Amino acid sequence: MSRIWAGIDCGKTHHHCVVVDAEGATLLSRRVANDEPQLLELLRDVLARADGDETTWALDMTGGSPAC
């Protein structure tokens, strides 16, 4: 089974996501607004590119604390 990696640089108003495969080829690179419909579309697109392969996600969160 193959794997892809999805990294998201989180911002207040926009995020940027890059998805790479096991060979390091970029499968997706997209800026999205911090908006639920756009984020859900991004998730669908990443999972479609995975095509059943395992996906590892990483989020860049440098500030703040988890909401309680």
Position 1 scores a pLDDT of 57
- At 3 the pLDDT is 93
Which residues have CB under 8 Å from 58's CB, separation 6+? Answer: 5, 6, 7, 8
pLDDT value of residue 34: 95
Question: pLDDT under 50 in the chain at which residues?
Answer: 68
pLDDT of 2 reads 83
pLDDT score recorded for residue 63:
66
pTM, to two decimals = 0.83
CATH code, residues 3-60:
3.30.420.300
The pLDDT of residue 64 is 61
